[in-house]
Amino acid sequence: MASRVVRFVLLLGLALLISAGATFGLNLFWVAIGGGEMSVHGWIAMGLGVFGTVGLTWILMSLAFRSHREGWDDRVDNTFDPGRKDHDR
């Protein structure tokens, strides 16, 4: 169990380093093409936006995988689905 947690933390740290490097590179590109410097508030806003987007994506994808593994969609009652062949009209 501990090795899974350690591996997860290492991979998460690697992903954070890669995304921070890409963000810094995009900032350099932005300045090189004539865009303005980004203030501290801009960096904070961009960091929160990226963190929120990645977090929401991670949560939704983990729910989709868990639903697929545990068969949550198989237990749904589709008797009122108009596309079913056995639907009474």
* 86 in a structural domain: no
CB 6 within 8 A of CB 33: no
Whether residue 7 lies inside any domain: the answer is yes
42 lies in the same domain as 54: yes
pLDDT tens, residue by residue, 7-61: 988 998 898 899 888 888 888 888 888 877 778 898 889 888 888 898 899 899 9
Q: What is the pTM of this model?
A: 0.50
Domain assignment present for residue 10? The answer is yes
Per-residue pLDDT at 87: 56
Distances (CA, A) of 53 to 20, 24, 32: 14, 18, 27
User: In total, how many domains does the chain have?
Assistant: 2
The residue range of the domain holding 44 is 38-73
pLDDT at residue number 61? 92
- The average pLDDT across 59-77 equals 84
24 and 45 both lie in a single domain: no
